[in-house]
Chain A
Amino acid sequence: MMRLPYFRYLAPRTVHEAADLLAASAGDAMLVAGGTDVLPNMKRRQQVPGTLVGLRQVAELKQMTNGDGLRIGAGMTLTEVVSRLKIPGPYAALRQAAVQVATPHIRNVGTLGGNLCLDTRCNYYDQNYEWRKAINFCMKKDGKTCWVATSSPKCLAVSSTDTAPALLALQATVTLVSAEKTRQIALADLYRNDGIHYLTRQPTEILTAIDVPRLGGWRSTYWKLRRRGSFDFPVLSVAAALKFAPDGSVEDARIVLGAVASRPLETPAASASLIGQRLTDEAIARASELAAVPARPMDNTDFTLAWRKRVARDFVTYALREVRGDDVSKLRLSVARQLV
């Protein structure tokens, strides 16, 4: 067995209390919600915080409210998010993304906020201490070199969150609370394309809530490439949200790729190409080609990078066809091994 290192565990009951505790143990503390990311990382000594501030008992993080749009507490488990979105309407992408995270067991404890803040992943980094020692460590932890591309000045670990691309396509904003202040930012601004500094969240800030606008007239979907129908992190994902005019033409579009960079990648050129168009096969093909262009998969996940790059356009096609209303259930079953 791999064992956790010793650490101090603090169990605040309010966001305010949690923020104070975080501020007080500056630099040495990390947040833990479901723990499905940070605890295995600690066992592998990728992260060794002296203090964990647990959010499990903070009730205000576990509420979902429906007003002008949707407000989701960051502490809701993925299972809770899925079950609350039984009739997801325009938020289908979020439901499909959440239901495809890992396994049922992990979704039962892992939270939406945790998935948005998921540590970036890499084949050279997500290894136990002894393995990393055998390669003399890497840039992201204890070493100097990025083994994915040894001349790279920055870490190329991969953004592997499922829900972030979906929520980006749904134009979500997030609330960050620290002891000093509360700020609300676009989810897009939470991320940076840097495997180490992949979040703009300050270490003293708590991601407390996710707001998604009302989105009348929008339809959305999420497609995920992974080796197996459960368990695996994405190695490519496509979230698409489109707003349709009454005549069936596209009024607005957001196509976001996951797992092809250190942050979720918006594809404005592809999205723009659809505006004013009907979703014909040709329009879909054009948008898919454009969407795949910025994808820069690296050789640090499952599957070969050339293949992941190559099939990006297929996956965008799948997403757009589903949003158009095609019956893609057979395809979904073949790719995801389940209907989502």
Chain B
Amino acid sequence: MKENTLRLIGKPRRRVDGRAKVTGQTKFADDIMLPRMLHCKLLRSSVPHARIVRIDTSRALAHPGVHLVLTGKDFQVPYGILPVSQDEYPLQPEHVRFVGDPVAAVIARDELTAFEALDLIDVEYEPLRTFSTPEESLEHEQPRIHDYGDRGNIHKAVSLAFGDVDKAFAAADEVFEDTFFYQGNTHLPIEQHASVAAKDPDGKLVLWSSTQTPHYVHRAIARALQMRPAHIRVVAMPNGGGFGGKSDPFHHEIVVCKAALLLDRPVKICLTREEVFYCHRGRHPVLMQFKTGVKRDGTITGVHLKTLLDGGAYGSYGVASMFYTGALQTVTYHIPTYKFQGCRVFTNKPPCGPKRGHGTPQSRFGQEVQLDKIAEKLAIDPAELRLRIVEKPDTLTANYLQVTTTGLTECIRRIVAASDWKTRFRKLPHGRGLGLACSSYLSGAGLPIYFNDLPHSGVQLKLDRSGGVAAFCGATEIGQGSDDVLVGCVAEVLGIDPLDIRAVTGDTDLTPVDLGSYSSRVTLMMGNAAIQAAERARELLADAVSRKLEIPKGRLVFAERRVFDAEDPDKGVSFSEAVCLAEAAFGTIGTTGSYTPPKLGGRYKGGGVGPSPTYSYSAAVVEVEVDASTGWIHVPRVWIAHDIGRALNPTLVRGQVEGGVYMALGEALMEEQEFRRLPKRLSDALVHKFPSILEYKSPTTLEMPEVFTELIENPDPRGPFGAKEAGQGPLLPVMPAVANAVYDAVGVRIDEVPITPEKILKALEAKAAGKSPRYGPAKFADVPWPETLQVPPPWEGGDGKAINSPPKAAKEPARKSPATEAVQS
């Protein structure tokens, strides 16, 4: 067969699900209405940390219209997204850990009735000491929020050394030490989580849900309800935005499943916006310290990074999030010696987890702001400094991550040119400034969440005599355009129109497993699987057509819905005729394709977080205007370049890049998942400051600056048609670029996000008073680090294994139940 030059891939196209979305025909989970359907509401803890003494549901059960009330007693088995953190129950049986933790469920004829009945459930709590900050959790080991984890309220702490950083600092001309804080923030998808569960006519369970990870939800339900997985079907409905917030199996999903099974009626739940803030799993607040040694020319000799993550009340993806804060520094810049110490603690707040960029934006912020300080001290232009230190292609980094291709150098050059950087940086009038920053991100996690050596993505094709093709894949459309990627890849290989293909996705009964829409993995993994399936189908069709037309297979072209002779294009058959010929020759035409990442990563403990088949790169310049009297900050323009490998559909890629810039500006300038304590003598309350889409400030279209996007295309051999990810990476450089631009504008460092007018003004006032012109954390916390695992980097003869024995965290004697430790007040 002749390799087609690309016809569809790389050209801007309207996405396949665009029509349904703009005409309002896309069916989301909350759009599902079934006959005899009941409605569910969850009673959530009104106290931040307590033992449940007693729950009395009798008044609620007697309320007219109530069909069922469930409590923790109805669920025996815990679950959780990571095998190491199986710490959640659908309803808490004995221990509540934050305001919003579910304790009971009411299933009633309508939502209002269920809501009214919630107030009729009597819960008696015995309060426990509450922890609102990581520092408090480090200080007090008792009571424990969980009875697992490294010690006290430390969920997980690690210490990894790739070479000797002390030696590296000794060899440096300058050593910089900076502390930063990155505030937590949440995903804020427009669609609130919704789920409907029902028994199908065969008596098996079906769950329709707004989830990014139907496969993991499938497994969690089977575990939590102790059911045969083959009798559970999970259908991921199109998500009205996910951003990582719908990647965990959730309480409400399991509760409606249980209720539907018990009542044999469909049961629906649609969370309120407040409840979405309680589900959270968003950005971890991270306190961090970067110690970096550099030579006079900017070359890095070594980096020592410490991070402290406020995990909230449950594990979620937290162990992975913690490792991610230390994973990708080396993929961006060449760091010959690297030490990473990370610690995640539990607090009595909604659990943190993966949000767009998962664990990497926090330390990316610190590193990029520090590089700006380094550049100034060394009197090197910040763009030039980065050009000198970017990680090279085909490199195995100090922590054993494999860089294949990198377009970072080109990204930097493009934004420098586009923003007129060289004539404007440090030369704009006071109050106006430019800042620059870079980043890298995974194109799919190299390892699955639970250990297995199965493919990460599978695609199945069914070719119809009509010329239509059905493409089945477990991937989940969360608005990012995965259906379009699936259809685009298949259409390209088979030479047909995207509209000829039906995508059937995210359905555990109908589609082969894809691990889910997280870690920017779908385009690369599903794309490769789709290409393989389509190439296998093309092979069958080519065989049949070649025999029929007596043309050598190598000369056949698949294009324009035809299969024809490259040397005589008039000689050929239509695509549907080709399918019929193949079906006559081989029987029903169906093919599969699958993708398993190559073996990647070091073999040290923690080496599984960070490996990816390939990495994307981004660079951004942000322009700001700062009013020196009020600190008011305005962002008029952003230039961003993204190394996409190849843009499968540039319209979608630009959408992702610009969406990333938008979300990044929210994090940079205003978004905060903030909590509030009341005066201690009057109240033990610890509540989310304002779980509301109005008062949780996220930018609107009016705040959106002009964005100039450049796509750098340098096809990666591991990507489908050379493609890398676009969903997460472009968010990363924007926050530090804003901070660096503020410094250029008014000469103060804001070493934390969000960068608010208040903080800028405080820094300006400090500067005017002759103090350090800076706003940010004073020092890193006192963390009891475990023994450091020594992993020599590749250039010191390392093989990816630790050379000392795995450290054991200093474990204190196990206590029976954390919940029995009431606070003596």
Contacts and interface: CB of A to CB of B under 8 A. Distances in A.
Given A1-B270, A134-B46, A304 B111 contact: no
Interface string B194-230: 0000000000000000000000000000000000000
A145 interface: yes
B5 interface: no
- What's the dominant secondary structure at chain B's contact region? loop
Nearest to B765: A310
B758 A303 contact: yes
A317 B691 CA distance: 34
A285 to B, nearest CB: 12
A231 B694 contact: yes
Interface-centre pick from A4, A123, A127, A145 (highest chain B CB count, 10 A) = A127
Nearest to B758: A307
A123 B702 contact: no
B272 A2 contact: yes
Contacts of B627: 314, 334
Contact of A136 (B625, B683, B758): B683
Nearest to B114: A3
B47 interface: yes
B632 A334 contact: yes
Interface string A1-15: 111111000000000
A338 B697 contact: no
A130 B274 contact: yes
Interface in A294-311: 302-304, 306-307, 310-311
Contacts of A6: 112
Interface-centre pick from B192, B687, B688 (highest chain A CB count, 10 A) = B687
B825 interface: no
Contacts of A310: 630, 761
A335 interface: yes
11 contacts: A1-B192, A3-B112, A131-B99, A134-B687, A227-B670, A228-B670, A229-B702, A303-B757, A307-B758, A311-B629, A334-B625
Interface of A: 1-6, 123, 126-128, 130-131, 133-136, 145, 147, 150, 227-232, 302-304, 306-307, 310-311, 314, 334-335, 337-338
What interface size band does chain B fall in?
A: 35 or more
Contact of A307 (B682, B695, B761): B761
Contacts of B700: 228-231
A127 B703 contact: no
B757 A130 contact: no
Contact of A232 (B274, B682, B694): B694
Given A2-B272, A130-B46, 20 more contacts: A1-B270, A2-B115, A3-B111, A126-B692, A127-B690, A130-B44, A130-B274, A131-B99, A133-B46, A135-B678, A150-B682, A227-B697, A228-B670, A228-B700, A303-B758, A307-B631, A310-B761, A314-B627, A334-B634, A335-B632
A127 B632 CA distance: 28
B689 interface: yes
Query: 6 tightest A-B contacts by CB?
Result: A229-B702, A337-B702, A307-B758, A334-B634, A134-B46, A3-B112
B702 A228 contact: yes
Nearest to B46: A134
Interface of B: 44, 46-47, 99, 111-112, 115, 192, 270, 272, 274, 625, 627, 629-632, 634, 670, 678-679, 682-683, 685, 687-692, 694-695, 697, 699-700, 702-703, 756-758, 761
A135 B703 contact: no
Contacts of B112: 3-6
Contacts of B632: 311, 334-335
B678 A147 contact: yes
Contacts of B47: 134
Contacts of A1: 111, 192, 270, 272
B683 A135 contact: yes
Nearest to B194: A1
Contacts of A302: 695, 697
Contacts of A311: 629-630, 632, 757
A304 B689 CA distance: 13
Contacts of A4: 112
A314 B627 CA distance: 11
A1 B685 CA distance: 25
A2 B99 CA distance: 18
Given A128-B272, A134-B99, A334-B632, A228 B697 contact: yes
- What's the dominant secondary structure at chain A's contact region? loop
Nearest to A336: B702
Contact of A123 (B625, B670, B695, B761): B695
A131 B675 CA distance: 12
B99 A3 contact: no
A123 B689 contact: yes
Contacts of B111: 1, 3
Nearest to A128: B274
A329 B115 CA distance: 49
Contacts of A228: 670, 697, 699-700, 702-703
Contacts of A135: 678, 683, 685, 687
Given A134-B99, A307-B758, A145 B703 contact: no
A123 B682 contact: no
A235 to B, nearest CB: 11
A339 B629 CA distance: 21
B132 to A, nearest CB: 14
Given A1-B111, A130-B274, A307-B757, A136 B685 contact: yes
Nearest to B687: A134
A255 to B, nearest CB: 18
A77 B634 CA distance: 31
A103 to B, nearest CB: 8
Nearest to B273: A2
A3 B41 CA distance: 12
A3 B115 contact: yes
B76 to A, nearest CB: 27
Contacts of A5: 112
Contacts of A128: 272, 274
A50 to B, nearest CB: 15
Contacts of B697: 227-228, 232, 302
Nearest to B192: A1
Contacts of B683: 135-136
Contacts of B274: 128, 130-131
A133 B685 CA distance: 10
A164 B48 CA distance: 40
Contact of B702 (A306, A307, A338): A338
B692 A127 contact: yes
Nearest to A337: B702
Contacts of B758: 303-304, 306-307
Nearest to B627: A334
A110 to B, nearest CB: 14
A123 B697 CA distance: 13
A205 B625 CA distance: 48
A229 B670 CA distance: 13
B679 A150 contact: yes
Contacts of B687: 131, 134-135
Nearest to B634: A334
A230 B702 contact: yes
A227 B47 CA distance: 31
B46 A229 contact: no
Contacts of B761: 307, 310
A147 B702 CA distance: 33
A316 B758 CA distance: 18
A123 B692 CA distance: 10
Nearest to A301: B695
A338 B115 CA distance: 41
Contacts of B630: 310-311, 314
Contacts of A134: 46-47, 99, 685, 687
A49 to B, nearest CB: 16
Nearest to B625: A334
Nearest to B112: A3
A5 B112 CA distance: 7
A113 to B, nearest CB: 22
A43 to B, nearest CB: 9
